[in-house]
Amino acid sequence: MKNKEYLTIKELADILGVSRIAVYKKVKKSQIKAVRIGRNFAIPKKYVSNILGKTLNNKNKQSIDKAIKKTVKEYGDVLKLLGRE
């Protein structure tokens, strides 16, 4: 079964370089999308690139754009001064 569609919490933890508990907590908080199978969780591989930050969906792009506009609006003068240094 080489082409698995899902990863276990341990497999994802190994990929991310964090503990199983850290991944489990993020799954429980719905920060990582997972499917519950009995007492276990399976993380669809299609979400791994999103978890790793390799893809941006429209919602994330809009959120980033909004944050940038707010920062420029509030700190535009300071940013210009910092740019001159």
Average the pLDDT over 6-13 and give the result.
93
Cα 44 to Cα 36: distance, rounded to the nearest angstrom: 11
Cα 83 vs. chain centroid, distance in angstroms?
A: 30
pLDDT at position 21 is 95
pLDDT in tens, 32-83: 999 999 999 999 988 887 777 766 677 778 888 899 999 989 998 888 888 8
Q: Phi and psi at residue 21, in whole multiples of 5°? A: -65, -40
- Show me where the domains of the chain are located: 1-54, 56-85
pLDDT in tens, 56-67: 677 778 888 899
The answer on pLDDT for 26 being more than 70 is yes
pLDDT at position 3 is 62
Which CATH code for domain 1-54? 1.10.1660
pTM: 0.58
